[in-house]
C-alpha cells in the first residue's frame, strides 16, 4: 500500500476491502431498514467501466440481480472513484427504477418526487406516455461528458399491484409500485 501511494499518490482498494467497507457503511446507516441484512450484501466491482454501454449493462445487471425474480437480494455496484474531484460515473436517477412525474393543469400525474428528473429527461429527448406509471429512463454521465439516457427493458422492472384484502373498490384504482427501491444518486 505504501509503495503504491508513493508511486501514484493513491491506493486501489481490493475487492475484499470494498466489500467490508460497504457492509459496515450499510450496517451503520440508521435511515435504512434494509441494513438488517448488511452481512449478506454482495459487491459488484465495476471500477473498470469505460463506456456508456458498459455502465448501462452494469446497471441493468444490478437491477436483475437485486430483483431476483421478486426474491430481493442486497447488492451494491461500485463504479470508478472520483478523479481530481470529478465523478467518473454520475447517475442522475435517485433510484434506478422510478416513475415519472408530470405537472399538468389538473395537478401532478405520476410521482411528484420525480418532477425535476422527468423535465431533465424530456429535455434530453425522452418522451413518456403521460401516465401515472411511466418508468423513467436511466440517465448518467461519464467523465463529465454529456448525459445519456437508456430506457429500462420492461422485463427487468418488477412491479407490484397494490390491492386491499377487504376494500374491493381499492383494486379499481389500478395502483402499482416498483418492487425494488435501488438507490443510485
**111: number of Cβ within 10 Å:** 19
Contacts 24+ apart (CB under 8 A), 117-120: 117/92, 117/93, 120/92
Pick the CATH number of 41-178 from 1.10.3720.10, 3.30.930.10, 1.10.1660.10, 3.90.440.10: 3.90.440.10
Q: Which three cell numbers stand for residue 183?
A: 438507490
Confidence at residue 21, expressed as pLDDT on a 0 to 100 scale: 95
Alpha-helical runs (H) found in the chain: 2-8, 15-27, 52-67, 115-123
Contact 137, 151 (CB under 8 A): yes
For 23, list phi and psi in degrees, rounded to 5: -65, -45
Instruction: Give the span between the Cα atoms of 124 and 143, in whole angstroms.
Output: 18
**In this predicted model, what pLDDT tens digit does every residue of 23-77 receive, in sequence order?**
999 999 888 878 888 999 999 999 999 999 999 999 999 999 999 998 999 999 9
Q: To which residue does cell 381499492 refer?
A: 170
Whole-structure pTM over 0.75, yes or no?
Answer: yes
Residue boundaries of the structural domains of the chain:
41-178
Confidence at residue 138, expressed as pLDDT on a 0 to 100 scale: 98
Percent of the chain with pLDDT over 70: 100
Confidence at residue 63, expressed as pLDDT on a 0 to 100 scale: 97
Contact 55, 89 (CB under 8 A): yes
Q: Which three cell numbers stand for residue 174?
A: 389500478
Amino acid at each position: 500500500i505504501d509503495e503504491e501511494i508513493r508511486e501514484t499518490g493513491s491506493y486501489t482498494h481490493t475487492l475484499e476491502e470494498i466489500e467490508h467497507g460497504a457492509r459496515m457503511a450499510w450496517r451503520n446507516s440508521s435511515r435504512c431498514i434494509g441494513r438488517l441484512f448488511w452481512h449478506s450484501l454482495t459487491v459488484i466491482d465495476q471500477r473498470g467501466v469505460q463506456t456508456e454501454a458498459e455502465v448501462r449493462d452494469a446497471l441493468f445487471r444490478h437491477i436483475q440481480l437485486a430483483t431476483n425474480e421478486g426474491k430481493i437480494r442486497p447488492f451494491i455496484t461500485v463504479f470508478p472513484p472520483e478523479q481530481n474531484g470529478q465523478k467518473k460515473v454520475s447517475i442522475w436517477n435517485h433510484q434506478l427504477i422510478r416513475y415519472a412525474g408530470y405537472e399538468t393543469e389538473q395537478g401532478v400525474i405520476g410521482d411528484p418526487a420525480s418532477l425535476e428528473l422527468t423535465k431533465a429527461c424530456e429535455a434530453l429527448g425522452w418522451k413518456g406516455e403521460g401516465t401515472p406509471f411511466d418508468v423513467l429512463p436511466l440517465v448518467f454521465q461519464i467523465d463529465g461528458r454529456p448525459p445519456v439516457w437508456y430506457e429500462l427493458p420492461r422485463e427487468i422492472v418488477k412491479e407490484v399491484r397494490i390491492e386491499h384484502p377487504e376494500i374491493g373498490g381499492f383494486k379499481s384504482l389500478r395502483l402499482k409500485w416498483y418492487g425494488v427501491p435501488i438507490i443510485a444518486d
